[in-house]
Amino acid sequence: MNKNFDTLRDEYGAKLCMELGFLPTSNSTKPLYIANALLRESTGRICEMQDVHKWVVSERRAKATPSKELLDEFSTVFSDSGAEKVEELQEVRFYLERVFNPDSTVHPDYTFSVMNISSKWLIHPYVKAEAGIGRFLFEILNEQINGTSSPALELLRAALQQDDDDITRLIKPIIIRKPEAERLKKIPLEPTSISFNQSKRVIRAGFDRLAKNIVLLGQAEDSLLVLRRLVCFASFAVFFYLEDINHTEFAAPKIPLLLDAGLGLGAIESASSGSFLSCKKAVEAYTINFLEKYLTGLNGQYILDINSKKAIEDYINSIALHHKKIDVDEIRRVILQHYNGYCEKGEAPIRAIARSLQFALYTYTYPNNTPSDFCNVIGKRGGLAGPAGSAAKQVRLLIHRFTLENLILSVIEPERLQEGLELRELGEYLRDSYLVIIGTDNDVDYSLLANAKIAQDTPENLRSELSQNAQGIADMLISLDLAKRYADGVTIIGTEV
C-alpha cells in the first residue's frame, strides 16, 4: 500500500464523492466554473484561447503580458501602431478583464482560468474548481426520458453556436486570426450510465420546464440570457441535490426551504436561517448514513462483526492514516475517543463508528470546506443564500431576484404560465417541487417549519410575518414583469397578465 494512503481521504472521502457524483469539498467553485463544466460536457468541445487570455489579463495583474509585446504579436489586429497605442491598449485590456473576468475566475496562468462564456469560443478544458459538477449535471440532462434528453441541452448547444453577441464580438478580431479547426478540439466523452434517483428526477423536471418556458417567453434567440438562466438554475440544482439526497437515499425528513424576500422581517430571517442550517445538517447526516451503509458492506471482511464493539475498535486501529501536519496517532486517538463516547451513549457500534469517521473527515480531511460548508459556497455564489461575505452572521435563503425568477420558471408548465395563476397556487407549485416555501399559506408553511423544528426557535410572530414575506416575493415578481397585482389585491403570475 502507498505509504501516503489515507483511509479517511482515499477511501471514505473518495467513495462519498463518487456516490454523490461530484466533489463538494472545494471553496473555489463558482457559477462560471459550473458553466464551463456543463457546457464542455454538453458539446464535447473545448477551445484553445491562450491568445485571448493574454488580452484579458490586464497589466494591473502580476505576470501579465506587457501591452507593448501584444502590439508586436498581434500587429495584424491593429490598423496602425505607435507609442500612443500602448496606453490605449492598456485601457482596452482593463475593460476586457471586467467583461471576461466578472467572478475572478481568470488568472495569469491560463491552465486554471475560465473566462466569461458567451459562445463556443470560450469553453475551457477541465479545471479542478469545477468539482466534477459538469458531468453530474450533464448525465441528468442526457438521461433518456420517454426517448429524449432534456430540451435544455438543445438550448445550450444552440446558444453556444451564436457568436454575434455583444460579448463575443469584443474578441472576434483575435478569434479569426486562427481557423476554427485549430481552435476547437473534440474531447472524449464516456457513455453515461447513472442511478436516476428521485432527487435527480426533480432536477431534470426543473431543467425541462425552464427550457420550455424560455422558449415560451421568446428568449431562445437571446443566447446570453439562455446561458445565464440555465447556469443559474444549475447552481440551485447542485444545492438542492446536496440538501435533498439524505431524504431520497435514507428516507430522512425533507427540509422546508423558506425563501426570505429581504424585507427585514426578524422572524422570517431567523426561520430562513434555520432552513439553511438544516440543509447543512442534512449533508452531515447523509455523510454519516453513507458511511454506515459503506462500512456495513465490509462486515465479515475488514470488520469481523459490525455488531461487536471490540471488532470495530480493532478495525479503527488497523486503518491506514496519513496527514501532512497532524500526527496520525492523535487522529486515531480522537476517532477512538468519539467512538467509545457514542457507544457509551447507547449507539450501535456500526452507527458509532460512522459518526466518529464523519467527524474525522470534516476535521482532518476537509478542514477548510466540508461537504456541509459547500452549501455556503454554492448557495451564496448561486444567488440563493446571503448575505454575501464570510463574516455574515445569519446566512439564510436570501434569494436574488434572477434566481427566484428561474426557480419559478422551473416549477410551472408553459401552458399553466400562459393561463396565469394566483400567488397561493405558486406556493403550492414551489412546495410540491422543492419544498420551497414563501409564506402563501400560513397554516401549511408554518406547520412544515414546525415539523422540521425550525419554527420553535424563531420569534412568536413568525406566522404573521409569513404572509408579509409572500407579498414581498410577489413584489419581486411584479418588478420582473412576471406578475401583476390587481385592484382587489390579488396577484396573478403569468406571461400574459
Q: What 3 state SS string does 79-115 have? A: CCCCHHHHHHHHHHHHHHHHHHCCCCCCCCCHHHCCC
Which stretch of DSSP H or E encloses residue 436? strand 436-437
The predicted model scores a pTM of 0.95
All three cell numbers of 266: 426578524
What pLDDT is attached to residue 496? 80
Q: What percent of the chain has pLDDT over 70?
A: 97
All three cell numbers of 57: 489579463
Query: What would the pLDDT profile of 314-346 be if each residue is shown by its tens digit?
Result: 999 999 999 999 999 999 999 999 999 999 999
Please compute Rg for the chain using Cα positions: 25
Rounded CA gap, 119 and 157, in Å?
9
Instruction: Select from 288, 282, 16, 231 the least CA-distant residue to 114.
Output: 231
Average pLDDT for the chain: 93
Q: Is the pLDDT of residue 281 over 70?
A: yes
Determine how many CB atoms are found less than 10 A away from the CB of residue 392. Answer: 14
Integer CA distances (angstroms), 79 to 52, 75, 82, 89, 92, in order = 19, 8, 11, 13, 15
What pLDDT is attached to residue 323? 95
Query: What would the pLDDT profile of 381-430 be if each residue is shown by its tens digit?
Result: 999 999 987 666 789 999 999 999 999 999 999 999 999 999 999 999 99
Stretch 202-213: mean pLDDT: 98
Q: Is the pLDDT of residue 1 over 70?
A: no
What pLDDT is attached to residue 75? 79
Query: What would the pLDDT profile of 360-369 be if each residue is shown by its tens digit?
Result: 999 999 998 9
What pLDDT is attached to residue 74? 85
Q: Is the pLDDT of residue 73 over 90?
A: no
What pLDDT is attached to residue 390? 67
What pLDDT is attached to residue 460? 80
Contact by Cβ (8 Å): 272, 437: no
Angle of the 401-409 helix axis to the 198-216 helix axis, nearest 10: 100
Q: Is the pLDDT of residue 31 over 60?
A: yes
Rounded CA gap, 476 and 78, in Å?
46
| Local confidence band at 473 (pLDDT 50, 70, 90 cut-offs) | very high
What pLDDT is attached to residue 483? 94
Q: Is the pLDDT of residue 82 over 60?
A: no
Side chain identity at residue 438, one-letter code: I
Stretch 92-102: mean pLDDT: 94
Contact by Cβ (8 Å): 225, 405: no
Q: Is the pLDDT of residue 80 over 60?
A: no
Stretch 372-381: mean pLDDT: 95
In the block, residue with C-alpha cell 482515499: 10
Query: What would the pLDDT profile of 291-314 be if each residue is shown by its tens digit?
Result: 999 999 988 788 889 999 999 999
Side chain identity at residue 25, one-letter code: T
